[in-house]
Amino acid sequence: MKVFWLFNHPAPYKVDLFNLLGQHVELTACFERVSEKGRNELFYNRPALSFRPITCTGIKFPAYQNYSTTPIKMLEDEKYDLLIINGYSTLTEMHTIDYLKKNGIPYHFCINGGIVKKHEFPLKKALKKKYISGATAYLSPDENSAAYLIHYGAPADKITFYPYSTVFESEVLQEPLSKEEKKRIAEEEFHLPGEELFVSSGQFIKRKGFEQLIKLWANMPKTSRLAIAGEGPDKEEYLKLIAKLNLTNVTLLPYLRKERELRFFSAASAFLFPTKEDIYGHVVNESLVSGTPVISSKQSNAAKKLVKDGETGYLIDFQSKNEFLDAIEGVRTINMGKDCLAMARGNTLEKEEAAFLEYFEKAVKQ
């Protein structure tokens, strides 16, 4: 079976998935660009082994925008059993979708997540509807992202769900770590002293909500440490806020490789995710893999799917000090480690691989 997949950039989690799929199907992954603005170059440090990676040639614009005819040329030169388009927002994706529709070529539309905007310009909404509607079928990681597809014209009965993941089964801890082991890892491996550690990770930008999280930490005892791993333009602003509030128990760490990040998460009492908007949120999966519950805002589709109150964490409003402190007390008093690991085992790259292979088989028979 020959599969063509147009994807925006070779992110490690996608390369990992393509490597798994490439062992069973003849997969060509056409990447629009080699990196994504704002991402650390370590984020892309993955070898491509079992599939054919192609990088588009063409015009590159600031941020992630680009225009290339490479996908169309490939589709004209080679015959594939299944075509998957993983987005609509670049000129390359739009041009490719226009070509497929014009020539009556069936294609499948896959998303990593999506959120319906409360207020949207009519022209922008019309553009989204034009390019999201019209596919043969759709793939979505969760119910909220499916609602996004439906909002822009996808038939509900044409949507198939898949378990979206960035982690392998082998990366899921066998058992939750003890409090003593968590404390040892925090102190010896990350040099983070304190009676308990709470962590977060992501780009240092407004959308991630770290400023509010730092402000909330002023209500925590000095023995409770907050460590945030990442990088970005707002780092100096965070450092100034930490100094202003005299928060000696807040530490900013640099970007961490995945393996190191999972270890970091495993040392924590909880992962804190105050995002203002995430169409998915990989860190939720990665925290659960480490047996660590997640306290998240309700603006992450991954959190809405995977975080169950009192079982794998809590969904809260980070603008509410009371909700925040109640959730902190909840993860202190309820041992959620085993439930976190159980949830993680149902959402691994191998589970995602199996779901896609099953989907491929059904799709080519129709």
Q: pLDDT for 61-93, tens place per residue?
A: 887 899 999 999 999 999 999 999 999 999 999
Q: Name residues whose C-beta falls within 8 Å of residue 203's C-beta, 6 or more positions apart in sequence.
A: 38, 39, 230, 231, 232
Model confidence band, residue 23 (pLDDT cutoffs 50, 70, 90): very high
Q: What is the pLDDT of residue 323?
A: 98
Question: Closest by alpha carbon to 8, among 106, 74, 109, 93?
Answer: 93
The mean pLDDT of the chain is 94
Model confidence band, residue 42 (pLDDT cutoffs 50, 70, 90): very low
Reply yes or no on whether the pLDDT at 41 is more than 60. Answer: no
Q: What is the DSSP letter of 226?
A: E
- State how far the Cα of 213 lies from the Cα of 222, in Å rounded to an integer: 15
Q: pLDDT for 209-225, tens place per residue?
A: 999 999 999 999 999 99
Q: What is the pLDDT of residue 168?
A: 97
* Domains of the chain, earliest start first: 2-165+348-365 (3.40.50.2000), 169-345 (3.40.50.2000)
Q: pLDDT for 225-267, tens place per residue?
A: 999 999 999 999 999 999 999 999 999 999 999 999 999 999 9
Q: What is the pLDDT of residue 48?
A: 60
- Calculate mean pLDDT across residues 112-128: 92
Reply yes or no on whether the pLDDT at 39 is more than 90. Answer: no
Q: Name residues whose C-beta falls within 8 Å of residue 224's C-beta, 6 or more positions apart in sequence.
A: 194, 195, 196, 197, 198, 249
- Calculate mean pLDDT across residues 284-300: 97
Q: Which residues pair with 5 in a beta bridge?
A: 29, 84
Reply yes or no on whether the pLDDT at 49 is more than 50. Answer: yes
Reply yes or no on whether the pLDDT at 44 is more than 80. Answer: no
Q: Mean pLDDT lowest for which of 40-54, 112-126, 269-283?
A: 40-54
Q: Mean pLDDT lowest for which of 39-53, 255-269, 292-306, 337-351?
A: 39-53
Q: pLDDT for 50-59, tens place per residue?
A: 999 999 999 9
pLDDT above 70 covers what percent of the chain? 96
Question: Closest by alpha carbon to 114, among 77, 153, 140?
Answer: 140
Reply yes or no on whether the pLDDT at 37 is more than 60. Answer: no
Q: Mean pLDDT lowest for which of 32-41, 81-90, 118-127, 160-169?
A: 32-41
Q: pLDDT for 144-197, tens place per residue?
A: 999 999 999 999 999 999 999 999 999 999 999 999 999 999 999 999 999 999
Model confidence band, residue 36 (pLDDT cutoffs 50, 70, 90): low
Model confidence band, residue 45 (pLDDT cutoffs 50, 70, 90): low
How far apart, in Å, do the first and last CA atoms of the chain sit? 14
Q: Name residues whose C-beta falls within 8 Å of residue 290's C-beta, 6 or more positions apart in sequence.
A: 173, 262, 263, 265, 266, 268, 340
Question: Closest by alpha carbon to 13, among 291, 288, 283?
Answer: 283
Q: What is the pLDDT of residue 215?
A: 98
Q: Which residues pair with 30 in a beta bridge?
A: 6, 54
Reply yes or no on whether the pLDDT at 290 is more than 50. Answer: yes
The 108-110 sheet, strands edge to edge: 52-55, 26-31, 2-7, 82-85, 108-110, 137-140, 159-161
